[in-house]
Amino acid sequence: NAIYMKKIHYHSIICCTLRKYTIQSNLGKITKTFSDMFLRKVCFVRHLTVVEMFLPLSPKAVEDLVRMEMERGDRLAGIFTMMSVAGGTGSGVGTYITQRLRDLYPNSFILNQVTWPYEAGEVIVQNYNSVLTLSHLYQLSDAILVHENDTVHKICSRLMNIKHISISDVNKVIAHQLASVLQPAYTADSPCHYSTNPIGELLTSLVCHPEYKLLSLCNIPQMSSTSLAYSVFNWPGLLKHLRQMLIASARMEEGIDWTVSAPLAVTSAGESATNSRHKSFNLSLANLLILRGKDVSTAVTDGFKDPALYVPWLKPENSFSTWTSPVAFNGYEKSATLVSNSQSLLKPLDNIVRKAWNMFASRAYVHQYTKFGISEEDFLDSFTALEQIISSYTHL
């Protein structure tokens, strides 16, 4: 996003990977909706698609068009890519573009937003693609922001009360959540004016170690326009629900497990005294809370500052950050968004790796990859990389 502040043009690039000629594909609509939401507010968004970048012609065409966008601004704030991890085109091309961008701009922030497949399956080799994609992205990206199709589908069905869910409905939810993060806000680094570097500040707030790059996102409230007209919100209620969603690893308000509680004490060994009885407790490395709307200055966020929510080897002041804006967001008088670097993605990541291993053990469909130069050793390296990530998050 490009925001004119202090006569300096700060510029971010949004790259979206699509199949050739499929302008109306899923991620293309997300990007368009995402752009429209910004344009209706105060930001200017530039987005590129693979179709526009003529990827089939030459990698240099991609690099030249991205470079042209870079040169439009006075300073590059960061690169935000949007891609899938399951499909062969979106995941493979998206990872390739990320690699090229990392080579060209080694000191720039790169934030990858990835869409995980439905657990029931969209593509027979989606778990292979996910393993290969995530293992490579983890080395290239500064952070990976994950949206799960199953979760977004449930939000559409249960919270938005949509009977026949379309791709457009799914995209609107994802676009709403992304815009709730990247819309202008006051931050710790810019308390008197809107931040001009949201990607950089988000990454410095949440990614404390290169071994931990997985970010999840939840936003409340989310409901149909009919329900919204008869709803009243207050900050204590919103923050109470959002905190419980965090510690219970719930992706939406409905169905929160209120029996999960944070540990009461921490032993000298760094393990909570009650953790053995609360295995479902979601431990965090860092959290970013974004509050938007009326009376935002009165919101009390002490519940998110509890040291028991975080790993003991990080100082509390380095584990929690808050952004605020008095401007109502997308029709909601008050709204709260939490971006979290925590254990919440352990289960879906472990499921993908487990299913891919089961297929790989029988060498199912491996020949479809080896004939294009991906060896079994490449698969094993990718499995090893993801299992290390799972181990790191498990043993926080």
Ranges 60-64, 76-80, 150-154, 271-275, most confident: 150-154
Q: What letter would DSSP give residue 365?
A: T
Q: Which of 23-27, 74-78, 103-107, 184-188 has the lowest mean pLDDT?
A: 23-27
* Domain 226-341 classification at class level: alpha beta
Superfamily of the domain at 3-217: Tubulin/FtsZ, GTPase domain (3.40.50.1440)
User: For residue 10, is pLDDT > 50?
Assistant: no
For the chain, domain boundaries: 3-217, 226-341, 347-394
Task: Identify the pLDDT of residue 62.
Answer: 79
Q: Is 52 exposed, middle or buried (0-12, 13-18, 19+ CB in 10 A)?
A: middle
Q: Is 74 exposed, middle or buried (0-12, 13-18, 19+ CB in 10 A)?
A: exposed
pLDDT 10s digits, 240-290: 999 999 999 998 988 899 999 988 754 444 454 444 435 579 999 999 999
What pTM did the predictor assign?
0.86
Q: Which residue has the higher pLDDT, 195 or 285?
A: 285
pLDDT 10s digits, 120-132: 877 899 999 999 9
Alpha helices (runs of H) in the chain, residue ranges in sequence order: 26-40, 59-71, 88-104, 126-140, 149-154, 167-182, 198-206, 225-228, 235-247, 316-319, 346-361, 367-370, 376-394
